[in-house]
Structure 1
Amino acid sequence: MGRSGRTRLDDRPSGAGLRRASAPSAGLMAMPPLPPADQEERDRVLAYLRAHPTLLDQHPDILADLVIPHGAGPKAASLIERQVQVLRERNLRLEGTLDELLRHARQNEALLDKTHELALTLLRIPDLKTRLGQLVEAMVRHFHADMVRLAMPAAHPALQHTHLDPLCLALEEWPGPPATGEPRCGPLEAALAGWMFRAPHPPPASAALIPLPKGTGVLLIGSQDPHRFHLHMGTAVLRRLGDLAGAALEADSPS
Structure 2
Amino acid sequence: MKEQQQTIPQTLITEDEVADYLKANPNFLYQRPDILKLLEIPHPSGEATSLIERQVSLLRERNLELRNRLNKLLDIARENDSLFEKTRRLITELLEAKSLDEIGKVCRITLKHEFNVDFVSLILFSDTQKLSAYYQVQPLTLAQQKISILLAQDKPVCGVLRQNEQQFLFQEHAQAVGSSAVITLRSTEPLGILAIGSKDSKHFQTAMGTLFISYIADILSRALLQYWSH
TM-score category, normalised to shorter length: 0.7 to 0.9
For residues 193-212 of structure 1, the aligned pairs below 5 Å read 193-199=166-172, 201-212=174-185
Cα contact 2:181–2:195 (8 A) shared by 1: yes
**Secondary structure of 1:99's aligned partner:** helix
1:188 is aligned to 2:161: yes
Question: Aligned residue for 2:42?
Answer: none
Is 2:100–2:228's contact at 8 Å kept on the other side of the alignment?
Answer: no
Alpha carbons 1:206, 1:228 under 8 Å: kept: yes
Matched, 1:92 2:64: yes
Relative distance call for 1:128 and 1:43 in structure 2 (3 A) is closer
Q: Determine which structure has more spread, i.e. the larger CA radius of gyration.
A: 1
Indicate whether 1:79 and 2:54 are aligned.
no
Deviation readout 1:201-254 (Å, 9 max, x if unpaired): 534111111122333222111101122111111111110111132123222122
Matching of residue 125 in structure 1 with residue 91 in structure 2: no
Sort the Cα spacing of 1:95 and 1:133 in 2 relative to 1 into closer, same or farther, 3 A.
same
The CA deviation at 1:200 is 5.2
1:206 counterpart letter in structure 2: S
Unaligned runs of 5+ in 2: 1-9, 20-25, 40-48
Instruction: Report sequence identity in percent.
Output: 29
- Tell me, in whole angstroms, the C-alpha distance in 2 between the residues paired with 1:145 and 1:68: 62
Structure 1 residues 125 and 69 mapped into 2: Cα distance closer, same or farther (>3 Å)? Answer: same
1:75-113 residue CA offsets vs partner (Å, 9 max, x unmatched) = 236122112212221221121111111111111111111
1:115 has 2:87 as partner: yes
For the residues of structure 1 that align with 2:191 and 2:119, how far apart are their CA atoms?
20
CA distance in 2: counterparts of 1:232 and 1:67, whole angstroms: 47
Cα distance change on mapping 1:210 and 1:118 into 2, 3 Å: same
CA contact 1:187–1:205 (8 Å) conserved in 2: yes
More strand by share: 2
Give the C-alpha shift of residue 162 in structure 1.
4.2
User: CA contact under 8 A between 1:179 and 1:218: conserved in structure 2?
Assistant: no
- Is this contact kept in 2: 1:150–1:169, CA < 8 A? no
CA distance in 2, matches of 1:127, 1:153: 17
Q: CA RMSD in A?
A: 2.8
Instruction: State the alpha-carbon separation in 2 of the partners of residues 78 and 115 from structure 1.
Output: 55
Shift of 1:73: 3.9
Q: CA deviation at 1:179?
A: 3.7
The one-character-per-residue Cα deviations of 1:114-144 (angstroms, maximum 9, x if unpaired) are: 1111222222221211221111111101112
Letter in 2 for 1:187: V
Contact 2:108–2:134 under 8 Å retained in 1: no
